[in-house]
Structure 1
Amino acid sequence: MNYDELLRENEALRERLSRLSEASLRITGDLDPGAVLQGVVDGARSLTGAGTAGLTALDERGQLWEFVTSGLTPEEHRLVLELPGGLEFFVHLGQLPEPLRVADFSAYTRAAGLPDIGPPLGPVGAFLRTPIRLLGRHVGDIYLAGKEGGGEFTQDDEETLALFASQAALAIANALRYREERRGREYLETLVNTSPVGVAVFDATTGGPLSLNREARRIVDGLRDPDQSAEQLLDVVSFRRADGREISLSEFPLARALSTGETVRAEEIVISVPDGRSVTTLINATPILSDEGIIETVVVTLQDLTPLEEIERQRAEFLGTVSHELRAPLTSIKGSAAALLRTPSTLDAAESQQFLRIIDNQADHILDLIGELLDAARIDAGVLSVSPEPSDAAVLVDRAVGLFQSGGGRSNVRIDLRPDLPRVLADRRRVEQVLTNLLSNAARHSPESSVIRVSAAIEGVHVVISVADDGVGVSAERLPYLFRRFFRAEGDQRDGVGAGLGLAVCKGIVEAHGGRIRAESDGPGRGATFTFTLPAAEDVARVAEREQSGRQPARVLAVDDDAQALRFVRDALTEAGYQVTATGDPQEALKLTEREQPRLVLLDLVLPGTDGIELMQDILRIADVPVIFLSGYGQDRVIARAFEMGADDYIVKPFSPTELAARVQAALRRRTGPARMAPSEPYVKGDLTIDYVQRLVSVAGQPVRLTAIEYEFLRELSVHAGRVLTHQHLLQRVWGKTEAETPRTIRTHLMRLRRKLGEDADNPQYIFAEPRVGYRMERPDATAGADQHFR
């Protein structure tokens, strides 16, 4: 080799090393795993002059977790994933211990007995594959196909790719480590932010707050004025111990922890401001030390004891009420028994019978009260059992009214039932208990001469039963609390003897059936209506037809990071006849949704690295399935947000197996029942096409991806094209609920739906608003066979 050739070779080597260094710097300069993988495959293609490139990344179990390409369009990328025998192809190459470089890869695959490679790759000529290894572990592969300008991959290409693969392994490992750390941090932040205990972190040098979670901000905001900063609040706030002794700011647990490094445990402190506002808190303070033992930060937890104090007050008041109710019948029993024992010879038979009747009636009253107490305890523990069976709704109502009247209730009860009511799935004894409780509640809070009205109607796959009175009514701010156990308040006429337990029991029984209960009132003095739902019994013929068809049980995907809760859900639904796939990993849940194609998904509200609502949105992008949340919270705000994002239902823990199975069945029937039938012909209006059979929506021939709720919203409007659908109609038919949602829910989804359809709310093409009423769509274009379905 002469000097010029050596010079050219050195120059080529320097150029190759320079490009290798640049490519390595690009992939190590990013910590997003997706961006790193794409950078690796782009860099490999650029370094070797390949026409196309691909990369498979493997997880710790050796399973494929990502596949990225370079030089292919999105459609070509999809076709590669769908190659016949593609998995066999990747498995074969992944088992090769050394790089593979061939001039004709199609010939190689035929010789190896692998399936032929078709479009968009085949036939493949020049090919180069290099494994990616990290500390001896196989973590992926790089594939190159088709040398630009023709020709084959060279030994230099193979060596360059091997060097680059070693750099790529480190970059991928760093990105994955960063992702895991970020997920762990996000999970911890989610736990802290959703904690019912306030958490605040303070800087030891300045004493100023570094971070406050949501509950800590709520406590602080409840004390400070709108224009007052946290520092200004400290100037006016005062602190008092549980024994009433006032302490200075320097004696406050935070100040002690900052100055002395003392760990403070469970100190009850009342924090108050001059205008009388105060909050009782249980405070812990823990200093965080550096490696040198210097205090860097102090973590303070504040538990607001106000709710606990209120619960204790309600509990004491409730016990007083129960004691009063027990004392009254016991007094009657004691008096009657004493009269019988004291003067048995002077009493005639009628008087003796009267005393015995009093004893018998009052003993029954005590038994009823004890029964309600036991039911309330079972509901709290989530073990209230019901045995639903197909029952005639009219018979249930008649029996309940009869029991109410025979027990001394008023006779002026008006029953208004539709003649075509379907049977309901109900535990007869329990539903009669609900109705008699509601009738007694109405009688207790309305004039003796007024009429109590009982009605029932059909709404979707539920039968709705209402009990209305013309009594004292309920204020709007108190309506949401009526069904809470122990709930009582001063100055409200509806709080009488027996209030605070019966409605809570009614709520537990109805929810155990898979229904919901609500109260409505126009305000004090204007009466109240209590309404609950029961699932309509499935038609016997449909059940028989389904059983004869041999259809497989519905598959349900359950996602919860609590192994015990997951096992409970799996066992309960398996016992109810469902096929259950369970996981505690949110990422695994997405893969299972795609692979198993469940008909329904159960999600816990808080999951590692994400929350249930975010995961639900990811699932709905993959599959159009109903989603039910399993929540330990029960706050209206959280539930409303879940519904706005597309949830079908929710269950508050703890719950019974019966309620879980009932809610799953109701959600599935809302999707598949007769109320959801749509025309077989598509709806076509201008560029918009809705194919009901395929559940596909397109605009100008381009498919539009909708969430389950968005599709149901559009379907309901289009099926009733030419008619205005009210807000209430849409809320019931699309969301399948009678509580939590509001017209705002509709507007939120409509805004997203319009954006996806490409229409402007100010100049709509498809969906038209009727102010203060609802929404409508115009009749479809008069295409063959379509118009007749919308007349």
Structure 2
Amino acid sequence: MLGAGSAPARCVPISSDRARRSAGLAEIDRLRTENEMLRSRLSGLTEAILRINEDLDLDVVLQEVVDGARILTGARYGAITTIDKAGDLQNLLFSGLSPEQEQIVVGYDRGMELFHYLSGADGPLRTSNFIAHAESVGFDGFEPHIEAFLGAQIKVRDRHVGTIFVGEKHDDSEFTQEDEETVEMFASQAAMAVINACRYGDEQRAKADLRALVNTSPVGVVVVDVASENVVVANREARRLIGIGLEQEHLSVKSFLPLRFKRMDGSEAVLDDLPFEQALHADETVRAEELVIVRPDGSQVATLVNAAAIRSDGGELMTIIAIVQDMSPLEELERLRAEFLAMVSHELRAPLTAIKGSAATVLDSLMPPDPAEVRQFFHIVDEQADHMRSLINDLLDMTRIEAGALPVTPEAADVASIVDHAKNAFLDGGYQHHVKIDLMPNLPRVRADRQRIVQVLHNLLSNAAANAHDWSTITVSASLDDTHVAISVTDEGAGIAPERLPLLFTKFSQTHRDHEHRVGTGYGLGLAICRGIVEAHGGRIWARSGGQNQGTRFTFTIPALGEPASEVARDDPASGTVTRAPTKVERILVVEDDPRTVHYIRNTLARAGYVPIITGDPREFEQLLATERPHLALLDLVLPDTDAFELIRRSPKVLEVPVIIVSGRGDDQLVARAFELGATDFIVKPFSPTELRARIAAALRRRTQSRYTEPYRLADLTVDYMTRTVTVAGQAVNLTPTEYRVLSELCTNAGRDLSYEQLLESVWGDGASGDAQRVRTVVKDLRAKLGDDARKPTFILTVPNVGYRAAVS
């Protein structure tokens, strides 16, 4: 019983208490689950961040970023883009796509526009149906089909450096707010990793470029660290000069102790007087010190040395740098010049003496000379005058070649006729050698100045005769070499030492290095003139020899016209062997910052009928490449803040057209590097207008010829140029010859706008100019036969007020 005044007890239902406990446990489980998910999410985010910071290679970092984004969100597909400071797309990497899917994405005709649009979003872009979103902003037909999509920008402070994209979750669900937050956090962490990788890549490229520049330098470069006395840098030329091979990696100051140094007068140079010591102890820059380096093996080389000390900001001596230039080529050139002047003096004095003697004999005779004697004296005067004229003409030609003004008038010419003319002129000179002619059948005509090429052959034949025994055989052969005809002159003479081969085509150089001038070997100008004439035609010349008594083979090339010598036929890509000459409507993109060179190139191209597109700003290169769609690019090697090599690496799309690099240096290393990067040709300044035109024409012909070897394919359409057949969905399409020529012209220039005038000139010839309706009629019939809807064409696209364009396959 309850006591008096006690409050009545309240009963709590047992079921209500259990419910509260159950709800509390459920909340605890939910919080525990959320904590586990958060812990897992943070763990995954931490691991992904650690992975992207493990490497500094940009491609590796970008791949880790996009792979990490996919893992964090459970996405099937991923992509990442980076942009430069100007906002242009720089890199694009995929994750999770098959190679076929990647090709489809890259092949989307508005792919770059789409990525620019997605990268330019103000904030994260999340949608449950990406295809519908893309179509709503004008991007139709994108593949592969993606529904769930999430994109987030990679930013450092306010600078946008790239964008991460993920699509299609593995469980086919939509991306959540948590996914968006995760990708945003990850992108903020990835930003510094991407920036650091970019900086590291720029630094490594700069170091590699500097190393390459130093290693390929024609002068020796030695850098010594003062504190350790270790040699930090010793390039190839420096090692060659001091006689230390590349296999000896670690060098120190002690490595130079076996060397001896002499003055140019032969006296020994004491240690304290050496440029290195003067720069080190006297703290002075040594300029143009002439020293002879005596190597341990006793060989020696004359050098010109410059040395300087490099100090830190605090004044501490850090390094000593020395530049060592080999004086041997200059000494050799001076020796050759002196020999040449002596030779020319002798060659001029001898005929003058003969002419003077003949005239004096007739004039001083007390009795009237016999008419037969007078004729003999006249023969002597005539012969010696011809000898002097030949020498003077060679001197004038050499001067014109060096000035880039050698007159050359190329025209269609028959190789057999040129060779026969040169052979007859050679034999008429009294030579007693047997000349064997070996020409490949059906050689195409060449674009050559007949008189000049005969001059080249005559010089080579005379050179062969001078270095071979009388009655020996000299062989003249010719064959097709890609887009050129290669002509060779081979003798059975004494051969040429390997070290002399690179010097053969320099001025004053003789085939053999004799102390006395050998009768009949010329003045040392013939081969240099040959080189100038051949290069003015857009060709090359070289020599090969097996060594002593192995004979010598000289070969030069001339651009082929692409038509057989027996008949000049209209180009027909179906033959598979004919190459088109330029139509003279080609656009040439020129990147050159020197005003005089720009003026020179612009005039040369304009006079040749090309359309020059010229810029001096390398930053405009990519834009002009995209908007102007040039047929060929002409790039100066050295440009403001960059070079042609960097332009090619930055814009590999330029290699879709021929690329010719122009440089004031013709080092083998530079030429090799240009061709390794994909350049078509390399021209050394100064060059004549004729050489520039010939090289451009050859490059364009080579490109046209390569276009005629691979069939054009787009959707169901196939155009096989080799068999001259056209099929749609495997079914042959019967076209008239004119329809086929129009279609092949469009397809070989796929992606380029061809005007009515261009099509009329290429297909019908000059007489059809202005008749645009003729083109429209043929295209209308073509579309009907190909099943191409004119209102929404797939194959032949209309370019309003211009002409037509074949879609890119």
TM above 0.5: yes
Partner of 1:707: none
Per the TM alignment, residue 325 of structure 1 is displaced from its structure 2 partner at its CA by 1.1
Say whether residues 1:180 and 2:205 are aligned partners. Answer: no
> Which is further off, 99-108 or 461-470?
461-470
Match for residue 247 of structure 1 among 249, 266, 269: 269
The code of the aligned residue for 1:63 comes to D
1:225 Cα deviation from its structure 2 partner = 13
1:456-479 Cα offsets, whole Å, 9 max, x none, are: 444456555555666655456545
Q: What is the match of residue 138 of structure 2?
A: 114
Measure, in 2, the Cα distance between the counterparts of 1:258 and 1:183: 32
Q: CA deviation at 1:199?
A: 0.8
The answer for the alignment partner of 2:398 in structure 1 is 376
Aligned with residue 656 of structure 1, among 652, 665, 688: 688
Name the residue aligned to 2:308: 286
Asked if 1:505 is matched to 2:529, the reply is yes
Match of 1:300 in 2: 322
1:409 aligns with 2:439: no
Q: C-alpha distance in 1, partners of 2:169/2:248?
A: 68
Correspondence for 1:79: 104
> Is the partner of 1:257 in helix, strand or coil?
helix
Give me the whole-angstrom Cα distance separating, in 1, the residues matched to 2:129 and 2:659.
50
| Separation (CA, whole Å) in 1 of partners of 2:245 and 2:130 | 73
**Which residue, out of 131, 135, 142, partners 2:153?**
131
Contact kept, 8 Å, 1:409 with 1:440, in 2: the verdict is no
Determine helix, strand or coil for the equivalent of 2:562. Answer: coil
Of structures 1 and 2, the one scoring higher in RCO (CA 8 A, sep 6+) is 1
Structure-2 change in CA distance of 1:279 and 1:610 (3 Å): same
Q: Structure 1 CA distance, aligned partners of 2:129 and 2:572?
A: 57
How far the C-alpha of 1:120 sits from its partner, in A, is 2.6
Counterpart code for 1:192: V
Larger deviation: 606-615 or 297-306?
A: 606-615
Structure 1 residue aligned with 2:737: none
Structure-1 separation of matches of 2:216 and 2:110: 47
Per the alignment, residue 754 of structure 1 pairs with none
Native 8 Å contact 1:605 1:613 kept in 2: no
Q: 58, 61, 66: which is aligned to 1:41?
A: 66
Of all paired residues, the percent bearing the same amino acid is 47
Please show how residues 675-714 of structure 1 align to structure 2 within 5 Å: none
Distance change (3 Å), C-alpha of 1:64 and 1:225: closer
Distance in structure 1 (CA, Å) of the matches to 2:109 and 2:673: 43
The 8 Å contact of residues 557 and 600 in structure 1, kept in 2 or not, is answered as yes
Aligned mate of 1:538, from 554, 562, 574: 562
* Equivalent residue number for residue 775 of structure 1: none
- Cα deviation, residue 197, structure 1: 0.8
Aligned-partner Cα distance in 2 for 1:233–1:150: 69
Deviates more, 1:184-193 or 1:595-604: 595-604
1:425 aligns with: 447
SS at match of 1:483: coil
What are the superposed Cα offsets for residues 464-503 of structure 1, whole Å, 9 maximum, x if unpaired? 5555666655456545543332224126885756241112
Q: In structure 1, what residue type is equivalent to 2:351?
A: P
In structure 2, the CA distance between the partners of 1:459 and 1:69, relative to structure 1 (3 Å rule), is closer
Residue type matched to 1:129 in 2? Answer: G
Q: How does 1:575-590 map to 2 (within 5 A)?
A: 575-576=607-608
Contact persistence 2:708–2:722 (CA under 8 A): no
Counterpart among 224, 229, 241 of residue 219 in structure 1: 241
Distance apart, 1:422 and its partner CA:
5.1
Secondary structure at 1:246 match in 2: coil
Q: Say which is worse superposed, 293-302 or 553-562, in terms of deviation.
A: 553-562
Paired AA for residue 534 in structure 2: V
Opposite residue 364 of structure 1, the aligned amino acid is D
Q: Point out the more displaced range, 411-420 or 211-220.
A: 411-420
Secondary structure, counterpart of 1:538 in structure 2: strand
The alpha carbon displacement at 1:600 in A equals: 7.1
Q: Distance in 2 between matches of 1:91 and 1:523?
A: 62
Give SS of 2:691's match: helix
Task: Indicate the residue corresponding to 1:769 in structure 2.
Answer: none
Of the candidates 184, 198, 210, which is equivalent to residue 232 of structure 2?
210
CA deviations 1:724-745 (Å, max 9, x no partner) are xxxxxxxxxxxxxxxxxxxxxx
| One-letter identity of the residue aligned with 2:334 | E
Q: Aligned AA for 1:430?
A: R
Partner of 1:756: none
CA displacement 1:320-357 (0-9 Å, x = unmatched):
11121122222233444555665698556665555555
1:121-156 per-residue CA deviation (whole Å, 9 max, x = no partner) reads: 33x14x333333334343333333345545544444
1:683-732 deviation line (CA, Å, top 9, x unaligned): xxxxxxxx9969xxxxxxxxxxxxxxxxxxxxxxxxxxxxxxxxxxxxxx
Q: Distance in 1 between matches of 2:544 and 2:233?
A: 41
Say whether the 8 Å CA contact 1:462–1:536 is kept in structure 2.
yes
Query: Given that residues 325 and 498 in structure 1 are in contact (C-alpha distance below 8 angstroms), is that contact kept between their aligned partners in structure 2?
Result: no
- List aligned pairs for 1:142-221, cutoff 5 A: 142-147=164-169, 149=171, 151-221=173-243
On the 8 A contact 2:466/2:521 being kept in 1, the answer is no
How far did residue 565 of structure 1 move? 6.8
Query: What TM-score comes out, normalization by structure 2 length?
Result: 0.69
1:708 is aligned to: none
Contact 2:262 2:291 in 1 (8 A): yes
Shift of 1:553: 5.5
Q: 1:210 Cα shift?
A: 1.6
Return the TM-score normalized by structure 1.
0.70
Aligned to 2:233, the other structure's residue is in SS state strand
Tell me, in whole angstroms, the C-alpha distance in 1 between the residues paired with 2:89 and 2:688: 39
Deviations 1:171-208 (A, max 9, x none): 32222222222222222221111110111111101322
The residue correspondences of 1:342-357 to structure 2 (distance < 5 A) are 346-347=368-369, 354-355=376-377
Shift of 1:427: 0.9
Contact 1:573/1:579 (<8 A) preserved: yes
- The offset of 1:538, in angstroms, is 3.3
- Pairing 1:232-271 to 2, within 5 Å after superposition: 234-271=256-293
Cα deviation, residue 430, structure 1: 1.1
CA distance in 2 between counterparts of 1:59 and 1:467 reads 54
**In structure 2, what residue type is equivalent to 1:658?**
T
Separation in structure 2 between the aligned mates of residue 514 and residue 545 of structure 1, nearest angstrom: 25
CA contact (8 A) 2:231 2:253 kept: no
- Residues 183 and 609, structure 1, Cα contact 8 Å, conserved in 2: no
One-letter amino acid matched to 2:293: I
| Cα distance, 1:109 vs structure 2 | 4.4
Distance 1:517 1:149, change over 3 A: closer
Give the whole-Å Cα distance in 2 for the aligned partners of 1:162 and 1:196.
52
Alpha-carbon shift at residue 306 of structure 1 (Å):
1.5
Evaluate the alpha carbon distance shift between residue 70 and residue 425 of structure 1 in structure 2; reply closer, same or farther with a 3 A threshold: closer
Question: What's the counterpart of residue 98 of structure 1?
Answer: 123
CA distance in 1, matches of 2:708, 2:179: 60
Q: Is the 8 A contact 1:475 1:524 kept in 2?
A: yes
Q: Look up the equivalent residue of 1:31 and give its one-letter code.
A: L
Contact 2:484/2:557 (8 A) holds in 1: yes
Change (3 A) 1:516 1:265: closer
- The structural deviation recorded for 1:246 is 2.2
Give the aligned residue type for 2:62: L
Are 2:64 and 1:30 aligned?
no
Q: Distance in 2 between matches of 1:285 and 1:156?
A: 64
Q: Which residue of 2 aligns with 1:490?
A: 514
Which of the pair has more CA radius of gyration? 2
User: Does structure 1 conserve the Cα–Cα contact (< 8 Å) formed by 2:633 and 2:654?
Assistant: no
Secondary structure, counterpart of 2:325 in structure 1: strand
What SS is found at the alignment partner of 2:309?
Answer: strand
CA contact 1:378–1:384 (8 Å) conserved in 2:
yes
> Partners of 1:227 and 1:51 in 2: how far apart?
49
Structure 1 contact 321–497 (Cα < 8 Å) conserved: no
Q: Aligned residue pairs: how many?
A: 677
Aligned-pair Cα RMSD in Å = 5.0
Contact 1:207–1:258, Cα closer than 8 Å, also in 2: no
Query: Hey, what's the Cα distance between the residues in 2 that align with 1:495 and 1:232?
Result: 51
Distance 1:13 1:416, change over 3 A: closer
Q: Which residue is equivalent to 1:698?
A: none
Task: Note closer, same or farther for the CA distance 1:550–1:295 as it changes in structure 2 (3 Å cut).
Answer: closer
